[in-house]
Structure 1
Amino acid sequence: MMSMSSGINSIDALAYSSWNSVPGTAVTLTYQFLQSPPRDATSDDAKGFQAMSFAQQQATRAALNAWANVANVSFVEVTSGGQLRFGTNDQSADNSSGYAYLPEPGVAAVDLYLNNRGYYNSVFTAGTFGPAVLLHEIGHTLGLKHPGNYDSAGSSVDGPFLPTATDNTDYSVMSYRYSSAFNNRYDTTPMLYDIQAIQYLYGANMSYHTGDDVYSFGSSQAPVCIWDAGGNNTFDFSACFGATQIDLHAGAFSGTGNGLANVSIAYNVTIRTVVTGAGGSTVTLNDAGNVMKGGSGADVVRVGAGDDIINTGDGIDTVVFSGFYGNYAIVRTVDQVRVTGQGTDLLSGVEVLQFADKRVNVSDLLLAGQGGPSNGNDIFTAMPGNEFIDGGLGLDTLVYSSARGASQIRASGKGYTVTDASGSVDVLTGVERVLFSDGAVALDIDGASGQIYRLYQGALNRAPDSAGQGYWTWAMDRGLALVSAAASFAGSPEFINRYGALDDTQYVTLLYNNVLHRAPDDAGLAWHVGVLHTGLSRAAELLNFSESPEFQASVAALVGNGIEYTPYG
């Protein structure tokens, strides 16, 4: 009957023995209500013995069901010969609420005794001490020990034990310790580690709550751990009148108020929908794709990796994303905001978006298709149909899901048009970059992208390769000075291998040939060599040529419809 170690502390601190020799094997146990002490009872067992009252028997059946709900343990009531035997006795000398024996090799039956001198063992309202005593003691009869180094009659065993931080009744009904947020409400189910351990011993009950279940909680909720075998399940905290902390991850805790951790989710359980109340909630979503329905409070919602639908309701509500702002595509319409980056999240009723590096007011985001300009670095997602998008100031990017070859980009007036295969036309103003599924086009020919293009021509006498254009543009977007980029070009292995070591006259002559495609005139050559002799760097001299009005005009036709590049990073 002894169980094998799992190697997991939260299991091994509880799972001591089993009615089976192989962990994870289902079991059916018989039980009986004793009418007199059994023949093998000790003197302590027999002291003041009384049969359980009707109320105690009903509460015992309910506690057995609570364990059967979570594990493959079935119970059959018999009048004699039960493997689990229940009674009461006088434990006033030990001031104990009850005790039970654990299954051991060669033992056909184990006994459980409630203290019949304790008034609490006659009151079985959910959340009071009496039901928790029965859950605890029945846990012993199934093979669970105490998770801490303390003693009780009939269950004195060695470790391992839980660390102090988790040795409390939030984690296990088998614990003698209460959490720091204990509010005189007692466990109503086997708790997080209890369920994990009992399922290790006997397997999980995969037929319990397989439908779409709604779990409702109020502010005075007694501690509970939710085991649910399937379905699209909902946590409803709308009856809570204060602030709540909600976490939808399996193995996580939620609180109905006052810093409580009184609602937990068993491992391997998925909760998909959450409803909050009026007191303001902090909600952490899981990665399964959640639906949130907010109340009138100010909610803070942390998204996971799934595709979430979040309606925060009234109040000043914030949705928190773990990544940097630039890693997300954001589209705002009249009714909602769509954020793509941690899955695709559809938001309504949300006032603030919080990223790892910045905070964004939803009211400052552009409405898709309206094109009201902003001063930030905006990311737009192209929508079906004809759109007008004005990025305003900043470095603005338009993202298409299609491949580059599906769209044609043309300069038009002060901006550009993007025409797709269906004939839809997007008009862009103040947009610097366009991203496709397989490439990108830079439209800032008067900005960093155009400067890098002209550096390639001036220093290396060639058009940039796509990856190189992408890298140097990326570097300048992040603060690299143009003169530093020019120095890197002039000192590059490609430059040196192509031209060798040049004196100032040869260097200036090269720039005339590469940039202006002509030999230098005598006066021009003398002037440029002279400024180098006065201390001007060769990088700065390169920029005098590559950024000259004459050269910009000569390459305008080559870059007028944008510059192809491969995004870096």
Structure 2
Amino acid sequence: MTTVSDVTNPALSGLIHIDGLLGDGPGWNWVAPARNTLYYTFALDAGNSADVGTIIAASPDGFNAFQQAAAVQALGRLAQITGINFIEASTGANADIHFGVGNLFGTNTSGYTSIKWGYTFDSTSNVIQTYTADAYVYLDMVEFSASNAQPSAGTSGYQVMLHELGHAMGLKHPFEGSLKLDPAENNTTYSLMSYTQVGGPRTDYAPYDIAALSYLYGADGLGAALGQGSAGHYLVGTATADNLVGGPGNDVLVGRTGTDTLDGGAGIDTAVFSGLRAQYNLVANANGSFSVIGLDGQDTLTNMEFLRFDDQTVPLSQPIGNNLPIGTITLAGTAREGDLLTAQNSVYDADGLGPFRFRWQSSPNGSTWSDIYGAAADTFRLGQDQAGQLVRLVASYTDGKGTAEQVISAVAGPVANVNNPPTGSVTINGSPRQGQTLTTVNTLIDPDGLGPLVHQWQSSTDGSDWTAIAGVSGNSFAPGQAQVGLMLRTVVSWVDLQGTAESVTSNTTAAVINVNDPPVGTVTLSGVPTQGRPLQAIVDLSDADGLGTFSYRWQTTTGFLTWGDIAGATGPSFTPTQTEVGRLLRVVVSYIDGQGMPESVNSALNGGVIDINVPPTGQVLLSGTVRQGLPLQAQASLSDDDGLGALSVAWQSSIDGNSWLTIAGAGSATFTPGADQAGLLLRALVSYVDRGGTAESMASASAAVGKVLLGSERNDVLVGSNGSDAISGLAGNDRLTGGVGHDLLDGGAGVDTALYAHVRDDYSVTRVTGGRTVEAMVGNEGLDQLIGIERLQFSDQALAFDLDGNAGTVARYLGAVFGPTATSNGLYAGIGLAQMDGGTTASALMQLALETRLGTGFSREAVVGLLYDNLAGRAPTAIELADWLQQMSAGTYTPVTLAQLAADLDLNAQNIGLVGLMESGLVYLPAA
């Protein structure tokens, strides 16, 4: 029964490689009530709140799918080592081992295991009544998230998982506590509980970890016959010589490699070996001990009842029987034809060795073996018959007990063949001339056996650098144009019967002699030869000797099938002229081929160059202004390859530019359009019959005939046509629209306005002698001449130039009442002009301005202050204010007449830039 002493002072093994890894908890062997299952969970309930803030920054998060898979894999390995069953629990309340992730304190802390355990006991007997324990395994997901997020086997994250589960199962760091591993063994080669990494990440526990876990749990689970707290111990040695001593119980001792001494002590004890029974010799010693000799070294056993091999368990109470030979026969030397192989014997037989008999054997496949005749010594020189074969040595003897034994060496080979070079030659017969067949003959012999011959013909310019000729592999070859001027040879290759690639090169021929190849293909013309239409020479030629640069000669017949070159016609294209009409035409394409031979090809004959009328070139221009009542002149500048005839002129008019009517009686070069043509399109048509008898004609560009429009004594609205109109408003306040064309707009008396369709910025307005010009920068309104026009109205604003009239009054009043910059206020200017143009008196306009600026019922003081501020830029002095108020009280001025006086001052004109406004106009927005 487990006592408090068992729990608080567990027994040690006496082996430092085990005791140096044993921690102080938890003691899963003491779990009471006893069970052989530990439960683990990924659920987060029933966590260890004491860890939060001391080990982990906040309550842990759950393992992801990768981490859960790694934990299950690691627990599976622990189950193999310890014999414990690990089963997942759905809640933390039912679990022993808990998993979580978070931010662990400490910059180098990639994982941490927290353990808590406790027990109750009988105070009289000190017997443990209950024992509980919990282990909390944490992975860091802040500093070490990159390695811990997917901790699959072979990664550093998986090694961290193994390390932390080692703590959970009762292992400590090998450098902590009073019992430590030797510093030379404090690394991951011996224990994953070490912080000293050797090599890459580990995928399994190290040997000392397995030894310590085996000691703790005896490989048979919790509370079983073996393990800490049991009568029987499970002791695992190291790779060196160990002395393992069992206790009073039934012990299991594993010496591993090295020359070990295993003493089972009392009880029924078992020694464990890693190999098969047949791989060990068992010797009974005179002193009652036994020697076991085999894969794990030579161990001495006392007080041992059973031997456990990988395939069977043997009780030492049975007779030993025949001991099979152990050790090997190795073959020294290289498995190569002609080399010597020597047997090196390390065979041992506990029953005694007898004289060896040797048989060398060969095999093509490693399954069927045949003795090599005469090969019966411990050495053998490999010959041609063994090339490509496997070889081995069979050594047999009779041991000291009369038993026939044999040992077979490891297989050597396949035996490498030592190649025997071929003899003989390859000769090319025949004369190297284009198109003539060359043939090879050979006298080849290969001691290793000839395989099928392959011929590769090659060419070279200098006899040093050779290029394979594609598609030629037989023993005969007729060189073509590509080989002209090149030397030839053939390389005969094969793979001999020992698998060695062999080749022999023939003699080299002289350079291949060329045979001229005429050009193949055609030269055609791109169309039917026709006067004035370009022809292209279409060359579709090939020349086995190589094409050169083409030259062209266009020819025409000068007599019956007598050809002559056309002067200057030496390019790939030619346009027939009147000279070639009716004659045959061809092109001769010539070149020097790649072998220096001149070649030429003619195009096919044709039916003669077809005559075709050549239309005239040049132009007909109209001189003068196209306007009703103004004379025009048609000026023709024409040429015709077919020859000009006598010119005639007809003047035509059209409503739409498509249908034209000839104007009766207008048949001379000059014409003055009248009222019938006003607003219509006009053109001059020049006609003649060329020397080839073809009627030809050419028309001038059409132009609209401008109208002459006259207004009346009233306020007229006059709109022009699409031509260059002359519009006169006469008396009255007229509104004139020129529209399309270069128009003359004369407003006459009154305040007249010219209207335009686009915004102001689309026009250039220039002051000229006698008026202004307005040029449309977009659209087709042209360049208009303006005389007597006081206003310009655009689509976005208007300009007033009557600065000596209403516009001047409005500008002065704006400056005096609203300030010098108010002249740019198009809205106010538009209101003022609408009032004045509508008959409002100047006094009434000033009254309206003052009321707008100062409000109805304004004071005299406010008027004086306003005028001083806008004109002088300051307030009046007390004396000045008193003087003006006295004059208004005396009736010399009223507020309106005083403001008019101020508006008419030169100072006000200067402030508002009246001179500049005469040039640019006063901007205003016309009243709706």
Query: Greater CA radius of gyration, 1 or 2?
Result: 2
User: Is TM more than 0.5 here?
Assistant: no
Higher-helix-fraction structure = 1
Higher relative CO (Cα under 8 Å, sequence separation at least 6) belongs to 1
Q: Give the structure-1-normalised TM-score.
A: 0.33
Taking structure 2 as the reference length, the TM-score comes to 0.21
